[in-house]
Amino acid sequence: MTRSGPARLPSVLQLDGRRYSVESLPDEIKTLIIDLQKADAVLQNRSRTVQVLKTAQKDLRTKLQQALQQQPLAADQGLQVPVAPMPSEFPLDEAPAVEERGGDSQRPGTVRRAKDKVKGLFRRFIGGEQS
CB 100 within 8 A of CB 48: yes
pTM: 0.43
- 99: helix, coil or strand? coil
The 10s digit of each residue's pLDDT in 9-68 is: 667 888 888 888 888 889 998 899 889 989 999 999 999 999 999 999 999 999 999 988
Report the pLDDT value the prediction gives residue 60, as an integer from 0 to 100: 93
CB 51 within 8 A of CB 103: yes
The 10s digit of each residue's pLDDT in 69-97 is: 888 765 555 555 556 656 665 555 555 55
Report the pLDDT value the prediction gives residue 130, as an integer from 0 to 100: 47
CA of residue 40 relative to chain centroid, distance: 14
Better-scored residue on pLDDT, 7 or 20: 20
> Measuring CA to CA, which residue among 45, 61, 63 is closest to residue 106?
45
pLDDT of 129 over the 60 cut: no
Report the pLDDT value the prediction gives residue 54, as an integer from 0 to 100: 94
